[in-house]
């Protein structure tokens, strides 16, 4: 460990990591490793514009899909309820 990370930094890191995974994965969803390497000329290591034949087509590089947008909204709802999870809250988050 280079230095002790703050709690805030860890929390932000978790959110950022999830969002980065979603946005980068949006460009490669449903493809095989071979297809990914062929399409992008190698492994995908940064945000890429999703190709026209994947579900995320039409989105910009770095744009998230349902995979991060749902936890984002759910987290906001949880914050509003002072961190208390309930079935009602889970449903409300999905409806929003």
Partner 1 sequence: MEYSIYDRILGGLVGAGTGDAMGAATEARTTEQIREYFGHLVTDFETPPMDTFGAGNKPGQFTDDFSSAFFLAKSIVDNQGVVDQKAVQKALINWSEHTVFFDRFAGPTTRLAIRRFKGEEIGETKGVQLVTRQATNGSAMRISPIGLLNPGNLDQTIADAITVTMITHDNYLALSGACAVACAVSRAVMEDADVYNVLQAALYGAAEGERIGLEIARDVAGPSVLRRLELAIKIGLGHGSPEEKMREIGDRVGTGLHVSEAIPAAIGFFAANGGDALGSIIGAVNVGYDTDTVATMAGAIAGAFQGATAYPEHFLPTMESVNGLDIRGLAVQITEIAKKRMKGGC
Q: Which residues bind partner 1 (CB under 8 A)?
A: 30-32, 34-35, 53, 55
Angle between helices 7-26 and 66-80 (to 10 degrees): 150
Please say which residue, 35 or 69, places its beta carbon nearer to partner 1: 35
Q: What is the sign of the dihedral through the CA atoms of 59, 63, 66 and 70?
A: negative
Please say which residue, 37 or 91, places its beta carbon nearer to partner 1: 37
How far is it, in rounded angstroms, from Cα 86 to Cα 93? Answer: 11
Beta carbon of residue 24, minimum distance to partner 1 (angstroms, whole number): 16
Please say which residue, 29 or 93, places its beta carbon nearer to partner 1: 29
């Amino acid at each position: 460990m280079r230095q002790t990370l703050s709690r805030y930094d860890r929390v932000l890191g978790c959110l950022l990591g999830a969002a980065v995974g979603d946005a980068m994965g949006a460009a490669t969803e449903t493809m095989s490793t071979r297809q990914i390497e062929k399409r992008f000329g190698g492994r995908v290591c940064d945000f890429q514009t999703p190709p026209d034949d994947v579900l995320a087509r039409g989105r910009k590089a770095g744009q998230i899909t349902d995979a991060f947008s749902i936890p984002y909204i759910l987290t906001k709802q949880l914050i509003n309820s002072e961190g208390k999870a309930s079935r009602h809250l889970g449903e409300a988050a999905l409806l929003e």
